[in-house]
Amino acid sequence: MSGHVDPTKETFALFKDLPRDEPIHMLNLVRLHAEARYPDGRKATGLEAYRAYGRDSGPVFRRLGGRQVWLGRPDLMLIGPAEEAWDIAFIAEYPSGQAFIDMIRDPVYREAVKHRQAAVADSRLLRLKPGAPGAGFGEIA
């Protein structure tokens, strides 16, 4: 079964319909292939390919004002399907939804994303509206 690696045209259209002029956070959950799956047959581990994606896409991400605001290594799925174990979890911040769109469209990023496509077995990418933490769990301003 194929995992979720790239957004569909339909979900990207929904993303573009959301406000583009305010900051966003993107929660990333990533499960890597043991061996990368490059169409040209080149050899690398999934982790090596994902690192190449980060190295090559990072300058575009930073140029557009992006920054990583949280990073964690998943240890155990305490609540949820065990098969949804993740190798990487992080939150990226963008100054606007438009900055994310500009990144996706950037030719340097589009070349770098080939490494991500080879590396990733499954992923989740959730757009979040940043907010200030409350005193209790689940408080939303």
Q: Looking at the predicted structure, is the pLDDT value of residue 141 above 60? A: no
Mean pLDDT of 74-79: 93
Provide the edge-to-edge strand list for the sheet that holds 120-128. Answer: 67-72, 88-94, 24-32, 120-128
Tokens coding 11: 């979900």
Note the pLDDT of residue 137. Answer: 75
**pLDDT band for position 140 (50/70/90)?**
low
- pLDDT surpassing 60 at residue 1: no
- pLDDT of 40 reads 97
Give the domain 22-128 fold: Alpha-Beta Plaits (3.30.70)
Label residue 120 left, alpha or beta by phi (over 0 means left) and psi (-120 to 50 means alpha): beta
Q: What pLDDT sits at residue 2?
A: 58
Average pLDDT over residues 60-86: 94
Q: Mean of the pLDDT values across residues 71-88?
A: 92
- Which residue ranges make up each domain of the chain? 22-128
At 56, list the tokens: 């090559």
Q: Is the confidence at residue 126, as pLDDT, over 70?
A: yes
pTM equals 0.90
Q: pLDDT confidence of 24, banded at 50, 70, 90?
A: very high
The residue written with tokens 């589009």 in the block is 110
pLDDT category at 88 given cuts 50, 70, 90 is very high
Q: How many whole angstroms separate alpha carbon 85 and alpha carbon 63?
A: 32
Task: For the chain, report the end-to-end CA distance as a whole number of angstroms.
Answer: 39
- Among candidates 51, 54, 36, which has minimal Cα distance to 121? 36
Compute the distance between CA of residue 27 and CA of residue 56 in angstroms, rounded to an integer: 20
pLDDT computed for residue 133 by the predictor: 78
